[in-house]
Amino acid sequence: MVEVLVDTSALIAFFVGSEKHHLSIKNYFLSNPGSKWVILSTVFDETVTWLRVKVSIRDSIAVGRLLRQEHRYVALSEADDIATWEAFCHYDDKA
pTM exceeds cut of 0.85:
no
Cβ pair 41, 75 in contact under 8 A: yes
pLDDT (0 to 100) of residue 33: 86
| pLDDT by 10s per residue, the chain, length 95 | 889 999 999 999 999 999 999 999 999 988 988 888 999 999 999 999 999 999 999 999 999 999 999 999 999 899 988 988 888 888 877 66
pLDDT (0 to 100) of residue 20: 96
Domain locations in the chain as residue ranges: 3-90
Which of 3.40.190.150, 3.40.50.2300, 3.40.50.1820, 3.40.50.1010 is the CATH number of 3-90?
Answer: 3.40.50.1010
User: What 3-state class would DSSP assign to 41?
Assistant: helix
pLDDT (0 to 100) of residue 94: 63
Closest among 33, 68, 23 to 47, alpha carbons compared: 68
pLDDT (0 to 100) of residue 95: 61
Q: 49 CB contacts (<8 Å, ≥6 apart)? A: 60
| CA–CA gap between residue 48 and residue 36 (Å, rounded) | 19
pLDDT (0 to 100) of residue 84: 81
User: What 3-state class would DSSP assign to 74?
Assistant: strand
